[in-house]
Chains A and B, each alone.
Chain A
Amino acid sequence: MIRVNNLHKIYGHGTAATHALSSINLEIKAGEFVAIMGRSGSGKSTLLHLLGLLDTPTNGDILIEGKSILKLSEKERGRFRLEKLGYVFQEYSLLSEMTVLENVYIPAMCLGNENSYKQRAEELLQMVGLGERAKHYPNEVSGGEQQRTSIARALINHPKILFADEPTASLDINSAQVILALFKKLNKETGQTIVMVTHEPEDRKHVDRIIWLSDGLVGKEATEPN
């Protein structure tokens, strides 16, 4: 599903250049639930941003479903992100001017008809346990509920891959457990491919495989028992 070839990301120029990622090569299969782990500054989030088309690498290639996504124009990348990828951010990233329901269906407004995306948004909110909170605004729900809303939003367009960047970092233990359980359920029941950055050792028990990053390099890959 995802193949990364010789990926580099360098910030800055000349002597001020920082190698965030160096010669990354990896592969993620369809239906996998993969965690990217490593210490702070190891390049986890940078790698996820590149895979999620939020940033561009300095060198290398990323293929999703056999297609080199780096050759896409800015417009095509936007469309690709909209149709094929879902993204859950580290911190609450809802649009404060919209209700929970509107936050969920807004990515679908460009693609589908109103009835279908509203219905799907309501179903997704039911799935993440927020059916009753649909008409609330983000500042009226808890951090965990906001993050569950973000997950529902990320799933609205039936993405091929769901990226999550430390989705439980800002949450208490109980809320974090709910989010991880939700990911696990999604992965098991719908075969959703999930790539999650995390620094929580506890999270490893939920995933199929861990990709370790250390100083911008891929370290050992580990497969954890479910």
Chain B
Amino acid sequence: MGNIKLTLFLAFKSIIRGNRWTLILVIVMMALSFANLLVTPSILSGLTDTFDRQQIDNLLANIIVDPPSYEYYLDHVGPIEKRIEQIPGVIGVSSHLNNTAFFEYEWEKKASPEDKGKSGTWPVIGIDPSREVNVTKIASYIIEGSYLSPNDRDEIVIGAEIAGGSMAVSNEGKTLQGVKVGDEVRLTYPNGVQREYIVKGIFQSREIIQADRMTFITRKEMASVLGRQVYDDRASQILIKTGQGAEENQVISEIESLGLDAEVKSWREYGGTASGIVSSFDIIASLINTIGLAVAGIVMFIIIYISVINKKRQIGILRAIGIKRDVIVGSYLLQAIFYAMLGIISGGLFFGYVITPYFDLHPLELSVGRVSLVIESGTVTKAVMGILVASVLAGILPALHITRQNIIKSIWGN
């Protein structure tokens, strides 16, 4: 008991009466090291979070119902949509009738049938606009014109990367080179059906270029293209949006329990490319963190080591008057933990109240979108453990070394 009290007493006095500048330097350095350990993974988490959100908002929603592998389409989607809508946590269901088409703009100006002109092949998705607004954010990305109405037949909404012109980032040759709202485009479908549509709206997500290379017509129109009698109640896939807090896996289980002849997948199973990028980020983040922690650990070690070495004589005196080695080392351990905790708290406050709000106000403008910081509990735990371990080693090792020295050498340095 006396030893514990003495250990606490020595640590307390050393902190209270120690050199203020050393104390401030150690704490500032630890705080910055801790914040540094949070920032890099938070940016990478923010990046993956942006990827994930874009996939959900623009392309896939949360859950996708596909036809079984031996079928191209899902049948009787109307009743299926209604049954899925009843599942708790589901806030939107939209059936897609997917196709591709050969697009032409100003085709009448082509010099010959062989002339490529302003053309290209892109996906065309047949949607129910009133349902789609509950599932993806395409409707909110309209930059010119307006979105589809449920009864539209001759209208099409196209992405900015297909329309081309100044708003597109793609090479001009890979767009329709300046389609505007009200212009006509001609689509030739794989089944030979050819239709002309008026461009009702142009959308641009500004987030994910893949979304801006899509086009939308109504599902009724697409069924008409494919053969209305057969395709009116069919879909290539059904996208399902879940509400905040809803467990995707739980909703998937509920959908599967409906006994549909279909494959139900989460957006993550579709996001293979993004998942690959995310795991690459994890590797990079681990490398950066390891190096950051090593640098922080070495700097902390040097500062605390110098601080302890400067107290070599004091340690020698303590040993000479009979204070146990464990008590002396314990007091330096407590000091190191105190420094680390203060550094962690200061660094955490700096990260939470300065860095994070700054990034919220000024997100990183990257090509993939706007990226803010996303902090995960695992990252915080790793950073706390890293700083604690580095501090403890930095505090204990020199104290152990000095207390193992001859007492006379410690005091007089000879």
Q: Which residues of A contact B (CB under 8 A)?
A: 49, 54-55, 74-75, 78-79, 81-83, 85, 87, 89, 93-98, 102, 106-107, 109-112, 137, 153-154, 157
Contacts and interface: CB of A to CB of B under 8 A. Distances in A.
Interface in B1-50: 2-3, 5-6, 9, 13-14, 16-18
Contact of A107 (B16, B314, B321, B406): B321
Given A85-B322, A98-B17, A110-B3, 12 more contacts: A55-B407, A75-B324, A78-B322, A87-B321, A89-B320, A97-B17, A97-B18, A98-B13, A106-B9, A110-B6, A112-B2, A154-B321
B317 interface: yes
A54 B5 CA distance: 25
Nearest to B314: A95
Interface of B: 2-3, 5-6, 9, 13-14, 16-18, 314, 317-325, 327, 406-408, 411
A226 B266 CA distance: 100
B2 to A, nearest CB: 5
Nearest to A56: B406
Scoring A98, A137, A154 by chain B CB atoms within 10 A of each residue's CB, the highest score goes to A98
6 contacts: A55-B407, A81-B321, A102-B13, A109-B5, A110-B322, A112-B2
Nearest to A87: B320
Contacts of B318: 95, 106
Contact of B411 (A74, A83, A93, A94): A93
B6 A153 contact: no
A97 B2 contact: no
A110 B3 CA distance: 5
A110 B323 contact: yes
Contact of A106 (B6, B319, B408): B6
A79 B322 contact: yes
- Secondary structure call for the B interface: helix
Scoring A95, A111, A112, A154 by chain B CB atoms within 10 A of each residue's CB, the highest score goes to A95
Contacts of B9: 106, 109
A97 B314 CA distance: 9
B236 to A, nearest CB: 76
B60 to A, nearest CB: 63
B323 A54 contact: no
A134 to B, nearest CB: 15
B151 to A, nearest CB: 85
A154 B320 CA distance: 10
B323 A96 contact: no
B404 to A, nearest CB: 10
Contacts of A153: 321
Contacts of A94: 317
Q: Which 4 A-B pairs have the closest CB atoms?
A: A82-B322, A97-B17, A81-B322, A109-B6
A96 B17 contact: yes
A78 B314 contact: no
Nearest to B317: A93
A93 B318 CA distance: 10
B324 A110 contact: yes
Contacts of B14: 97
A198 B318 CA distance: 24
Nearest to B326: A75
A96 B91 CA distance: 69
Contact of B2 (A93, A110, A157): A110
B320 A54 contact: yes
Nearest to A85: B322
B5 A78 contact: no
Scoring A82, A83, A93 by chain B CB atoms within 10 A of each residue's CB, the highest score goes to A93
Nearest to A93: B317
A79 B323 CA distance: 8
A45 to B, nearest CB: 9
A106 B13 CA distance: 12
Contacts of A98: 13, 17
B408 A54 contact: yes
B101 to A, nearest CB: 82
A106 B327 CA distance: 12
B321 A106 contact: yes
A139 B300 CA distance: 29
A46 to B, nearest CB: 9
A211 to B, nearest CB: 20
B407 A54 contact: yes
Nearest to A11: B414
Contacts of A157: 322
Contacts of A96: 17, 314
Contacts of B327: 110
